[in-house]
Structure 1
Amino acid sequence: MERTAGKELALAPLQEWGEETEDGVVYSVSLRRQRSQHLSPGEGSGSSQTHRPSTDAFLHYRTSKVRALRAAPLDRLVRELVFGDPEQDPSFIPAFLATHRAFVPTSRVLDLLLPPPPPPLPPGVEIKKTEGRDLSFNKNLRAVVSVLGSWLRDHPQDFWDPPAHSDLENIRTFLGWAAPVGVEAKEAEKLLGDFLEEAEQEQKEKLPQVWAGFLGATQIPGADLTEYCLDEVPEGQDLLDFSLDEVAQQLTLTDVELFSRVRPCECLGSVWSQRDRPGARGTAPTVRATVAQFNMVTGCVLGSVLGEPNLATLQRAQQIEKWICIAQRCRELRNFSSLRAILSALQSNPIYRLKHCWGAVSQEPLSIFRKLSQIFSDENNHLSSREILFQEEDTEGPQEEDSPPRSLPSKLPPGPVPYLGTFLTDLIMLDTALPDMLEGDLINFEKRRKEWEILAHIQQLQKRCQSYCLKPCPRILAALHVQRQLTEEQSYRVSRVIEPPAASCPSSPRVQRHISLTKRLKNCPENEAHPLVGVPETPHPLPPVLD
């Protein structure tokens, strides 16, 4: 049989092989194929010409076994942080640090990770580095120091424990004798200083906080403007009286600030699903802040469209058109959070059932509304919105004229700002579907890897959001926070006054909507606006909203 040069078996470079159990630890095993080129006689490494496969060339493959820890007891997981092979399993350390709080507290990990201090040396005795006995140069200690450095840098909030911050103090003590002049020791000192300064600032000024912790008194941008800037909003001026482009920009600014400060570990299903339990009022505060903003935008749309029962039909239709315009501008700004909030309000039963109002909406904004609504179709677990989000992430920025043709873009476009509810739903479903423990009291770390993949995606999006360049407008932010909002009961009651119940709504826009298979997230208590709940007047169920 004639051999054709360049033809090779199309196999995946990494193939799952099975499982192995060793010393009570379960590993998943994969086979990695790497090609090695064997040249025909006469072709040597010293040839100046580029080697290309010829008819006499043979393609050889080298197969190596790759193991990744799948399940193990806690002490073995912590041991893997120090003695594991990063080349074999590069995702283990970041996955463990990002998800460990779902199955073990930080203090317990430190108890197993930090070695005891060495005995004090006799007076006058010093350890010389040249003798190779300096503790800071011990291989195992270097591994521990490296893990702590990544932990302090990537997850500083894990060590917030006022007033003593005992876990951080234990780290400082360890670094004080293991690596006293390293960057990790400086990072620990700086973090403790930030913690103490934040606590002192809080005691002095008594500022209201969106959440307590390392992120401090970070509020929704403009949230404190309602007290100081109300005079800047003329009496009777509505939010939609401002430039619609600027309103969309201020919504995006707020969403960017809140999403950038979300702690990914708070999105874990085992954390977020506990938020309504007794004593869990402070659970996931950064996620709650995004929930409050989402519900506020939804409430603003309801209040704007339904707030005046005596408004003429054409005027109410114009209000709907303005919100569609803002939604379209949010789409152009790659802000899927406010876009989702506005669409959820417009698709809610209290607004959706107003057939006369929708009949007065112009064709162009109505067409835009239909196209935008397709983004969040419930089909295939919101497949459309996921695909669009990935497309937005892959969008490259403009290249410089002098840059090489195949070089990476010098600057990526900002965003996108995702709809956080998609990630929360995925993580809750993942937490429900996979067990925390396997037979033999082994921690199911494969579950944590899958969670880490989602959290890493969130972190990647957060980095992209840092490139937004939007300036706050106090007047619009103030108007946004004083905009009249309606509760679920109020909005439906006003809607029935505007247009009495009818058998059908033939003039309402036909938006493809299906019952979601995902579990709706329950609302956060008290000062957060209640989510919209479907009422049995139209056959179209509400889409799931972030609540």
Structure 2
Amino acid sequence: MERPPGKELSLAPLQEWGEEEVDGAVYNVTLRRQLSRRPGPGRGRGRGRGQVTDSGRSEDFVHYRTCKVRALRAAPLERLVLELVRGDHEQDPAFVPAFLATHRAFVPTDYVLGLLLRLRQVPRLQGEGQEEQGQNHSDLSQEQESRALISVLGSWLLNHPQDFKDPPAHPNLIQVCTFLSWAAPGGPESQEAERLLKHFQEEEEEEVAKKLHEEEDKAKEIPEESAPFHHESPDPEIPLEEEEHHVKEGPELLDFSVDEVAEQLTLMDMELFSQVCLWECLGSVWSHRDKAGGHGTAPSVRATVTQFNAVTSCVLSSVLVGPGLPPPLRAQRLEKWIFIAQRCRELRNFSSLRAILSALQSNPIYRLKRSWAAVSREPLSIYRKLSNIFSDENNHLNSREILSQEEVPLTSPEEETAPGVPPLQVPPGPIPYLGTFLTDLVMLDTALPDLLEGELINFEKRRKEWEILSRIQHLQRRCVSYSLPSRPPVLAAFHAQRPLSEEQSYRLSRVIEPPAASCPSSPRIRRRISLTKRLSAKLSREKSSSPSHPPGDPPSPSPSLSSGSYPPSPGDGDPLTLSPPPSPGATNLSYKSILELPLGTEAPELQQTPPSPGSSARTSYPGQQTPDACVIRVSIDHDPGNLYRSILLTSQDKVPGVVLRALQKLHLEQPQPRDYQLFQVLPGDRELLIPDNANVFYAMSPASPGDFVLRKKEGAQSPPR
């Protein structure tokens, strides 16, 4: 039976084969089918070149060739480094970029560099499928390894230059320059190393000159000892009447046009995002920033967090300024920020867009019902559409899909190269909300182990991390194409905006509109109540019983809450999603930690053992059970710091083990599981006590399987933090 032209057998291109162990390294093996054609009888001998049969169809046979593909899954450190120069990078093209982007999570740069530069003196490992073919073959192999080593160093210098920045001497970079000047003199890799060293040295000189200039300026200001010292942060004890009299010199930020403000916010976000170091985003790095001694961890990521907080604070202070301002005039300020957010969306700046929406959805602004009632219909419609971008429905599917669509070029490569078609004009950006990627990386680090049996490095975990980091790197390269003019007056007005503390924001909001019933005019977005919201509501009820908080108005959050990261959300346990709550409540504005959120649809699989390439990956969300595992979130009662940690719970885990892992993740020193009880948080502010030594997987209620609280037993001593 003849097959119609173009109709071929539908065969799976990849088939999982299993695992192989070679020289202490474990490989995932898949079989890949590749299409190949062989001339049929109609094209045999006796026919001229280019002739076809009478039917006019090609009579080629359709053949499939099966290739065996190996991808390194786990190996000792030395074996991983050897794979950089002796591995088959055609079969496994992702190995080198994944290693270079994630190696600092398990080994320092100088150690890897030392192993690489000593490889020329290390004999080749046996058992790699290489046959002895004489001295010529040996020389060829050494030449190939030299070229591979030079290529790896060149890729390392180009894609991760910050790995070599070690002021003031930069010993690793000097070592690379010396090697490349001998191995590849005058080559692009050697030129890049020399350029990078010169760039770092110039930066050092500029920083030294800047410090000297600052010291000279301070020395000139020393005689003015009679002038009182004013701290930048506002004093919550200053009366509101005095706050009104703080008039800044020069124009306010909202005195500028919508385009000018949005463009300057985008310019600042672009500069910070393009400078983010990939390795600082890794969950093993970012999740330990609050641990003792981790104050200076991930400075490039912290800079984006600081900018996000500054935009949110700027919106708050500009809207709440002037307690005596009439509602229509305050509504104009709300409308202008909505139009600025819309312009940020047009500029594809999702970071400032989310920061502005976070401030507008915060409790101090949300509860201003008279001001919201004066907002026109068109801005309200725009506001609701923008808020839907960051809806927490289906694990923030909207924002993830929109970002993916923004990454895709408008035309295909074929259309771009077609005759008569002008060159493709790729729009700049987008600038993403970095918290989404940080969340996925933290969850990935929580779910997958660093080491496998036999103390082998779990490189499959690093591959999954690289899938996320590669998207960040791609977006960084796209965002540098922005061409926006710098407007110093707008930047000066932004930095001069007087920030308000959380306490002041709530006090001003209550003065503008005294406590009242639920606000029917404020924009509403339906959402689910999460562990974050339930704990906040519970603490609010406890505080509202004190005389200092009048009934009918939410108490202000505790001033002891840490700042320095993105604001929390009242939605589904996600500290990154901020939409207005169903009714005015105590939505904390202390910009808390980005930690442990559900992975998105593109996020890697959360399971005990990583899947092999070619297998169907299935995402597990916190609270979603698989036959033998699920991810749960555990918090500690009355803890003002990081709210919760995610833990991979298996069907074998009992209460002591779960409590111990949670205490360790909460950075408690000398944790004593016997001093704590584990409670499951149920709907309706109910709790279920999990008995000691019970199997948590089977003892927990399926009504809300994701949220747990640790509470200290009576008489137990608090461990040091």
**TM-score, normalised with respect to structure 2:** 0.64
Offset of residue 408 of structure 1: 9.1
Structure with the largest fraction of helix: 1
Seen in structure 2, the aligned counterparts of structure 1 residues 239 and 140 have a Cα distance that, compared at 3 Å, is same
Is 1:100 the counterpart of 2:103 in the alignment? yes
- Of 512, 517, 520, which aligns to 1:506? 520
Equivalent pair of 2:566/2:593 in contact (CA under 8 Å): no
- Of 70, 86, 91, which aligns to 1:88? 91
Residue in structure 2 matched with residue 375 of structure 1 by the alignment = 389
- Of 362, 375, 380, which aligns to 1:348? 362
Residue in structure 2 matched with residue 223 of structure 1 by the alignment = none
- Map Cα deviations across residues 64-101 of structure 1 (whole Å, 9 max, x no partner): 11110011110000000010011110110111011100
Offset of residue 207 of structure 1: 7.5
Is 1:166 the counterpart of 2:168 in the alignment? no
- Map Cα deviations across residues 181-222 of structure 1 (whole Å, 9 max, x no partner): 43333333332232233223322331799xxxxxxxxxxxxx
- Map Cα deviations across residues 462-483 of structure 1 (whole Å, 9 max, x no partner): 1111211100111111001111
Seen in structure 2, the aligned counterparts of structure 1 residues 140 and 529 have a Cα distance that, compared at 3 Å, is closer
Equivalent pair of 2:276/2:301 in contact (CA under 8 Å): yes
Q: Tell me the distance in 2 between the aligned counterparts of 1:94 and 1:360.
A: 54
Offset of residue 518 of structure 1: 10
Residue in structure 2 matched with residue 32 of structure 1 by the alignment = 32
Which deviates more from structure 2 when the two are superposed, residues 378-387 or residues 19-28?
19-28
SS in structure 2 at match of 1:206:
helix
Offset of residue 314 of structure 1: 1.1
- Map Cα deviations across residues 432-452 of structure 1 (whole Å, 9 max, x no partner): 111111111010111111111
Equivalent pair of 1:275/1:283 in contact (CA under 8 Å): yes
Q: Tell me the distance in 2 between the aligned counterparts of 1:312 and 1:546.
A: 36
Q: Which has the higher contact order (CA 8 A, sep 6+)?
A: 1
2:149 is matched by which residue type in structure 1? V
Is 1:114 the counterpart of 2:117 in the alignment? yes
Offset of residue 504 of structure 1: 1.6
Q: Tell me the distance in 2 between the aligned counterparts of 1:277 and 1:51.
A: 78
SS in structure 1 at match of 2:262:
helix
Seen in structure 2, the aligned counterparts of structure 1 residues 491 and 439 have a Cα distance that, compared at 3 Å, is same
- Of 581, 584, 589, which aligns to 1:538? 584
Is 1:179 the counterpart of 2:225 in the alignment? no
Equivalent pair of 1:26/1:71 in contact (CA under 8 Å): yes
Offset of residue 350 of structure 1: 1.3
Offset of residue 139 of structure 1: 2.8
Q: Tell me the distance in 2 between the aligned counterparts of 1:113 and 1:291.
A: 36
Offset of residue 407 of structure 1: 7.0
Residue in structure 1 matched with residue 42 of structure 2 by the alignment = 42
Offset of residue 258 of structure 1: 1.0
Question: Runs of 5+ in structure 2 lacking a partner?
Answer: 122-135, 215-231, 233-246, 534-558, 571-580, 595-721
Q: Tell me the distance in 2 between the aligned counterparts of 1:484 and 1:297.
A: 12
Which deviates more from structure 2 when the two are superposed, residues 279-288 or residues 289-298?
279-288
Q: Tell me the distance in 1 between the aligned counterparts of 2:415 and 2:90.
A: 38
Residue in structure 2 matched with residue 461 of structure 1 by the alignment = 475
1:307 is matched by which residue type in structure 2? V
Which deviates more from structure 2 when the two are superposed, residues 333-342 or residues 135-144?
135-144
Offset of residue 315 of structure 1: 1.1
Offset of residue 19 of structure 1: 2.2
1:104 is matched by which residue type in structure 2? V
Residue in structure 2 matched with residue 195 of structure 1 by the alignment = 200
Residue in structure 2 matched with residue 153 of structure 1 by the alignment = 158
Equivalent pair of 1:378/1:515 in contact (CA under 8 Å): no
Offset of residue 308 of structure 1: 1.8
Residue in structure 2 matched with residue 276 of structure 1 by the alignment = 290
Equivalent pair of 2:363/2:585 in contact (CA under 8 Å): no
Within 5 A, what are the aligned runs for 1:395-410? 395-396=409-410, 404=418, 409-410=423-424
Offset of residue 276 of structure 1: 1.8
Which deviates more from structure 2 when the two are superposed, residues 254-263 or residues 2-11?
2-11
Within 5 A, what are the aligned runs for 1:357-506? 357-396=371-410, 404=418, 409-506=423-520
Q: Tell me the distance in 1 between the aligned counterparts of 2:271 and 2:333.
A: 27
- Map Cα deviations across residues 474-524 of structure 1 (whole Å, 9 max, x no partner): 1111001111222222212221222223332211112233457999xxx9x
Which deviates more from structure 2 when the two are superposed, residues 347-356 or residues 326-335?
347-356
Q: Tell me the distance in 1 between the aligned counterparts of 2:286 and 2:117.
A: 30
Equivalent pair of 2:43/2:59 in contact (CA under 8 Å): no
Within 5 A, what are the aligned runs for 1:187-336? 187-206=192-211, 235=249, 237-336=251-350
Which deviates more from structure 2 when the two are superposed, residues 178-187 or residues 304-313?
178-187
Identity %: 65
2:21 is matched by which residue type in structure 1? T
Residue in structure 1 matched with residue 240 of structure 2 by the alignment = none
Equivalent pair of 2:81/2:112 in contact (CA under 8 Å): yes
SS in structure 1 at match of 2:41:
coil
Equivalent pair of 2:519/2:583 in contact (CA under 8 Å): no
Q: Tell me the distance in 1 between the aligned counterparts of 2:282 and 2:442.
A: 7
- Map Cα deviations across residues 401-448 of structure 1 (whole Å, 9 max, x no partner): 996269795221111111111111111111111111111101011111
Which deviates more from structure 2 when the two are superposed, residues 357-366 or residues 493-502?
493-502
- Of 53, 65, 69, which aligns to 2:68? 65
1:160 is matched by which residue type in structure 2? K
SS in structure 2 at match of 1:138:
helix
2:308 is matched by which residue type in structure 1? F
- Of 149, 164, 175, which aligns to 1:144? 149
Seen in structure 2, the aligned counterparts of structure 1 residues 23 and 53 have a Cα distance that, compared at 3 Å, is farther
Q: Tell me the distance in 2 between the aligned counterparts of 1:396 and 1:244.
A: 27
Q: Tell me the distance in 1 between the aligned counterparts of 2:285 and 2:529.
A: 26
Equivalent pair of 1:341/1:545 in contact (CA under 8 Å): no
Offset of residue 48 of structure 1: 6.3
Q: Tell me the distance in 1 between the aligned counterparts of 2:17 and 2:55.
A: 32
Equivalent pair of 2:564/2:592 in contact (CA under 8 Å): no
Equivalent pair of 2:526/2:582 in contact (CA under 8 Å): no
1:82 is matched by which residue type in structure 2? V
Seen in structure 2, the aligned counterparts of structure 1 residues 361 and 432 have a Cα distance that, compared at 3 Å, is same
Question: Runs of 5+ in structure 1 lacking a partner?
Answer: 119-130, 210-225, 227-232
Offset of residue 267 of structure 1: 0.9
Offset of residue 103 of structure 1: 0.5
Seen in structure 2, the aligned counterparts of structure 1 residues 201 and 438 have a Cα distance that, compared at 3 Å, is same
Seen in structure 2, the aligned counterparts of structure 1 residues 430 and 116 have a Cα distance that, compared at 3 Å, is closer
SS in structure 1 at match of 2:42:
coil
RMSD: 3.7
1:17 is matched by which residue type in structure 2? W
Residue in structure 2 matched with residue 22 of structure 1 by the alignment = 22
- Map Cα deviations across residues 231-288 of structure 1 (whole Å, 9 max, x no partner): xx98363211111111111111111111111111111111111222222222111111
Offset of residue 168 of structure 1: 2.1
Residue in structure 2 matched with residue 10 of structure 1 by the alignment = 10
1:197 is matched by which residue type in structure 2? E
Question: How many correspondences in the alignment?
Answer: 509
Seen in structure 2, the aligned counterparts of structure 1 residues 100 and 302 have a Cα distance that, compared at 3 Å, is same
Q: Tell me the distance in 1 between the aligned counterparts of 2:54 and 2:288.
A: 60
Seen in structure 2, the aligned counterparts of structure 1 residues 144 and 398 have a Cα distance that, compared at 3 Å, is closer
Equivalent pair of 1:296/1:529 in contact (CA under 8 Å): no
